[in-house]
Amino acid sequence: MSRSYRVSVRECVNKVIKAEDSISTELEILEILPKEQMSQLLADELEKDGFRRDSNLLVKEEDGVVVTVDTETGKVTVSSEAAETTKIEGERHGRAYDDIGPHASQIREGLRQELQKDLERKVEKKTSELQGKVTDKLEGKLGDLRQDLDKVVNRVTAEALKRKAASMGQIKEMTEDPQSGSLTIVVEV
């Protein structure tokens, strides 16, 4: 009569998981003045709005979301990333006809492979959950950011129109309504 032995395998995975997401768009800025002047106006307005200079890029970080604006091209990139350390443990059990022989080794190796696959699936699930959190955070910031950037573009356009009008002749009358964004300039040429 043969006897079976219980075979157990334990594994632990410590891993740093990372997730990131980003989106890019371009600001729609009218070229009222030469490109260099429009770029400078945009940079000035963004600095007033809390952005810091990094060569021709302006960067603002808030709540883990980084907004980068290239003032020469008008390209806006919004990105977010996160990392966390995760520890996942698992255990598998099986039966073998010997406790230290070849059959026990085969069973042990099979259990170890199954367990490793299971732990990998759990790590992938945690990574997917972290990715979802990062994407949700990014989406939450996009609405507010869109409004803020639209206001900056409107201020840049208004300043460019004022400068263009002044270069065309003498400004006789100027009315500006910041609430509606309307600007009326009467110029004598």
How would DSSP label each residue in 107-124?
HHHHHHHHHHHHHHHHHH
pLDDT (tens digit per residue) in 130-144: 999 999 888 888 888
pLDDT number for residue 42: 92
Phi-psi region of 164 (alpha: psi -120 to 50; beta: other; left: phi over 0): alpha
Who has greater pLDDT, 37 or 183? 37
Does the reported pTM lie above 0.75? Answer: no
Please provide the size of the chain in residues.
Answer: 189
Q: Compute the average pLDDT of residues 88-105.
A: 81
Residue partners of 138: CB distance under 8 A and separation at least 6: 21, 22, 23, 65, 78, 79, 80
Q: How many domains does the chain have?
A: 1
Buried b (16+ CB within 10 A) or exposed e, 50-61: ebeeeeebbebe
User: Is the model's pLDDT at 41 over the cut of 70?
Assistant: yes
Which residues constitute the domain of residue 76?
5-188
pLDDT (tens digit per residue) in 148-180: 898 888 889 888 888 888 888 787 788 888 777
Where is 177: in which H helix or E strand? strand 170-177
User: Is the model's pLDDT at 1 over the cut of 70?
Assistant: no
